[in-house]
Amino acid sequence: MADGVRRNRMFHLSGPAMRLAIGMLPFTLFFLSCGNLGPPNPEEIFRRASPSVYVVSVMDTFSSRPARFGSGVAVAKDLIVTNRHVLGGPQPRTGSVLVSRGKVAWQAFPLHYDRSADLAVLVVPGLTAAVASLAAPTSLQAGQPVFAIGAPQGLELTITEGLLSAVRQLGKEEGGEMLQVSAAISPGSSGGGLFDRRGRLIGITTSFIKSAQGLSFAIPPEVIDAEMRATGYAYSRAFAIGLANAQAGNFAKAEGLLRESVALQSDFCEGWLALGRLEVEHEPTAPALQRATSVCSDRSEAWTSLGQALERQASALEGQVMVGMSSPTPDIDRRVRDLRTQATAAFETGLRLSPDDPSVWMDLGDTLHELEESERACQAYREVLRLVPGHLKAMTQLCIVLGNTKAAIEQCTEVVRFAQLQPESPDRTYALAQGWLVLAGSLEKIGDFQRAREARAKQQLWQQIFLELSRRGPDPEFVRRRNARADAVRPLLPILEERLGR
């Protein structure tokens, strides 16, 4: 009993001491609450947040390897949000999108694009993801710790730590409000998650400044929330199912759904682009692409796609003359030249918007070559080689455009030397056939007939190989991969339609 009394006395306070303790109580509670905001635990944050983060890959049609990749965050069990620039433009026939984690991958379909915010939402049939908890915008304060989780350089589930440096109010063209953070991000991090100390999603990592350290940017939660609401729009649902049907080979149904999406939302840029790329197969005038250049005049891919369609029309007219379907007339020649002049203007507009795109420079060079504007064509091919050193097709085309000149000897010699070191491919065979052909003509022009004969013999050999490859038609492996992709998509269509309420 005495022990019990002594224990009670240990906690007994006199009147003055009691008043002092009560007076200090608010300060005690303040320090206790601050104790809950002590140093964040990165291990715990990673445990909570990382299950919602995935790798997003756009697959190359020809090689079945990733052509581009980034990250994505699950905002619903079968919805992944990522950056729009990770996906590129909508490709209705090609460019299947995969969402993966470890060795498991799921087919995904673009459901909604927002080019001004640089966000896209993917629907992933069959995915049951752990969903990120979205923080309230009012919870953001400069100086708070933040954690970025993504796949920089393809290194899946990488976490970096930093601070929320500032909330920046940018112009609408620059994306509106953005979060400036010091957490390191790299190519491949785009579309990944930015999380707070409680593991809540506070942003989608989107860009960084290469020339500065600790200057990264993320899209804030209120914009993510707006994108989620947009996925319920009817035009978004028609768009997603339309692209899925195109990948499954149901082109008529795909075209109908894409037309429905732009009828419901007349300024839907991605819908017009996808429809234009699909209809150009049977509608040479490409009216949807013409419309796309009006709806999204600031988008390089709209102008580039239009240029490709116009060049395709010109080539089709020439082809009709070559096979005897049409007789050569001045009117056809004039029409072909007009189409290529329009294509050149479209490519040049695309390059003003995206000057470092080698594929557009290549298209421009080819069209200028057909127009016999050799000097400008050479400039375009040299731009390709500046951006992509060792680009075999650009090297070959430059050799051809230079023609039977002294300058061609050096260029064509480099082409055949470089091509011989490359693995077997149609581009390699074409490079060797054309390289030896132009080299033979150039050597004859300067009177070096011995070397010219040797070059001519090699040209005839490679030309025969090239013609043999051409007669075989499409690469069987490419056809097999294309059919396999369509077969993989078809069983997902009923799931997708039920998910999107069609």
Ordered by where they begin, the domains of the chain are: 47-123 (2.40.10.10), 137-230 (2.40.10.10), 233-240+247-293 (no CATH), 297-389 (1.25.40.10), 391-491 (no CATH)
The predicted-structure confidence for 216-257, as pLDDT tens digits, reads as follows: 899 998 888 888 887 778 898 999 999 899 888 898 899 999
pLDDT at 174: 52
pLDDT at 94: 54
The predicted-structure confidence for 484-500, as pLDDT tens digits, reads as follows: 878 888 898 998 898 88
Instruction: With beta carbons less than 8 A apart as the criterion, state whether 270 and 90 touch.
Output: yes
Residue 91's pLDDT band (boundaries 50, 70, 90)? low
Instruction: With beta carbons less than 8 A apart as the criterion, state whether 150 and 189 touch.
Output: yes
Q: Where are the beta strands (DSSP E) in 77-183?
A: 79-82, 97-101, 104-114, 119-123, 145-150, 158-169, 177-181
Least trusted range by pLDDT, from 33-47, 149-163, 424-438: 33-47
Q: Shortest CA distance to 112 belongs to which of 272, 233, 292, 193?
A: 233
Could you identify the residue written with the tokens 């899946």?
A: 156
Give me the phi and psi of 125, to 5 degrees please: -60, 130
pLDDT at 249: 87
pLDDT at 31: 37
12 carries an active-site annotation: no
Least trusted range by pLDDT, from 109-123, 171-185, 481-495: 171-185
57 carries an active-site annotation: no
Instruction: With beta carbons less than 8 A apart as the criterion, state whether 243 and 92 touch.
Output: yes
Identity of the residue numbered 323: V
The predicted-structure confidence for 288-339, as pLDDT tens digits, reads as follows: 999 999 998 998 989 999 999 999 999 989 988 887 777 778 899 999 999 9
pLDDT at 227: 82
Q: Does residue 384 surpass a pLDDT of 70?
A: yes
DSSP state of 176: S
Mean model confidence pLDDT for the chain: 85
pLDDT at 260: 95
pTM for this entry:
0.77
pLDDT (average), residues 175-188:
85
Identity of the residue numbered 436: W
85 carries an active-site annotation: yes
Cα 39 to Cα 138, 165, 311: the distances in Å are 21, 17, 61
Task: Out of 100, 190, 216, 261, pick the active-site residue.
Answer: 190
pLDDT at 419: 94
Cα 377 to Cα 354, 382, 433, 440: the distances in Å are 18, 9, 21, 22
Q: Does residue 35 surpass a pLDDT of 70?
A: no
Residue 476's pLDDT band (boundaries 50, 70, 90)? confident
pLDDT (average), residues 393-398:
96
Q: Does residue 61 surpass a pLDDT of 90?
A: no
Q: How many CB atoms lie within 10 A of CB 228?
A: 17
Task: Out of 118, 196, 363, 366, pick the active-site residue.
Answer: 118
Q: How many CB atoms lie within 10 A of CB 115?
A: 16
Residue 431's pLDDT band (boundaries 50, 70, 90)? very high
Residue 93's pLDDT band (boundaries 50, 70, 90)? low
Tokens read off for 240: 């997603």
More confident residue, 319 or 368: 368
Task: Out of 60, 64, 85, 448, pick the active-site residue.
Answer: 85
pLDDT at 4: 42
pLDDT at 171: 53
Q: Shortest CA distance to 139 belongs to which of 220, 227, 223, 31?
A: 220
pLDDT at 257: 94
Residue 502's pLDDT band (boundaries 50, 70, 90)? low
More confident residue, 90 or 128: 128
